[in-house]
Structure 1
Amino acid sequence: MTCVMVIVHYTAVETSIIGWRGQHTQTEQIFTTSKFKLDTLADSESKNRDVVLKLYDALRSRDVDSVHRTLTPDLDYWFHGPPPHQFLMRTLTGVSPPFQFSPLSVVSFGSTVIAEGCDAASSVSWIHAWTVSHGVITQVREYSNTSLTVTRIGSVVAGRSAEIRASHCPSVWESKFSGRAGKSVPGLVLAI
């Protein structure tokens, strides 16, 4: 009888150790998977940023072939600002002499890459919000003489949309050069 108790006790201890090891292994897997996802996201953001920087290099050197390889043929273009300041569209279509876009700041948030610059001589600040998919730019939003705040929308919880509140929409980026235009400018929020 004592022997059976020892075996049962040993089995219970062994089971709890195996159970703990199983949980520990699951925790390690979750941590490793999360770290892999973060590394993959950071790598993806870096690649997206590189695509946008290559586009600016191609625009600066007037390398039309590189520009065409970087942009999808059906580029989705949005503009906010004074109509005469649609510099990017005019540059891409060759309607007017190219505007010199020299980004002072370029940051990535997933598939969205934000580039900001300012031409002090013409009192124009600009922001481009690029969307990159599979190494190609599919959308651009051009903002001219506009203050922009980028926010991240709350996530979906248990299959339902999370209630959107200020705490779920943190500001992840704010334009810094819109004040250099020398005048008051409108402010917009871009939700990603």
Structure 2
Amino acid sequence: MEGLNKNIVCDLYKSLAARDTATVHRLLAPDIDWWFHGPPAHKFNLMQLLSGGCACNDTNSFNPLSIVAIGSLVVAEGYHIHESGKNHWVHAWTVENGKIITEVKEYLNTSVTVARCRKSDNICITSPRSPKFKNMWHSELTHNASIPRLLLVL
């Protein structure tokens, strides 16, 4: 299933680059749940592109350098160079049944670590250093950057 989920997200990015709005809309749930973490000035960049509300000339703004599937979650990472600098982004897509994207969590200029937490005796371990946590993925492009760091727990 992870392979199918990754393929769906890869197809989405290819469709965005090709400005194929019909395919983009076919791959996204009509009521997609979107969550954003980053500078407010960039809050709607991805959502405008997904909804067709942006006539962006730079379709490579969201060209992923890596895409990894972890169950129903597919994480993509890349960056966008613009006139005032460089923005690092991470998108965490939720794919339902290997068919449609139902959720996206967008992180801009934020380092993200994805971890799985095992529950024990109905107690969720709160320390990421606990042996109950298993790191599944982490941002590669932000190691030396002074930016917020977030833990996305599955």
- TM-score under structure 2 normalisation? 0.85
The one of the two structures with greater contact order (alpha-carbon pairs below 8 A, sep at least 6) is: 2
Give the letter aligned to residue 153 of structure 2.
Answer: A
Tell me the matched-pair count: 144
Q: 1:163 to 1:143 in 2, by over 3 A?
A: closer
In the alignment, what sits opposite 1:51? 8
Post-superposition shift, 1:109? 0.5
**CA offsets 1:112-141 (integer angstroms, 9 cap, x no match):** 000000123441000000000021000000
In the alignment, what sits opposite 1:103? 64
Post-superposition shift, 1:185? 0.8
| Larger proportion of strand | 2
In the alignment, what sits opposite 1:64? 21
Overall identity of the aligned pairs, in %: 42
- TM-score under structure 1 normalisation? 0.69
Q: Distance in 2 between matches of 1:179 and 1:123?
A: 15
Asked if 1:77 is matched to 2:31, the reply is no
Matches within 5 A, 1:159-174: 160-161=121-122, 163-164=124-125, 166-174=130-138
**CA offsets 1:22-61 (integer angstroms, 9 cap, x no match):** xxxxxxxxxxxxxxxxxxxxxx001000000000011001
RMSD (Å), alpha carbons: 1.8
CA contact (8 A) 1:179 1:185 kept: no
Asked if 1:142 is matched to 2:99, the reply is no
Q: Distance in 2 between matches of 1:78 and 1:62?
A: 23
Post-superposition shift, 1:143? 0.3
CA contact (8 A) 1:81 1:144 kept: yes
Larger radius of gyration: 1
Flag as ranges the 4+ runs of structure 1 deviating above 6 A. none
SS in 1 for 2:2: helix
Give the letter aligned to residue 187 of structure 1.
Answer: R
**CA offsets 1:151-188 (integer angstroms, 9 cap, x no match):** 00105x6xx535525111121111011358xx521010
Is there any run of 5+ residues in structure 1 with no aligned partner, and where? Answer: 1-43
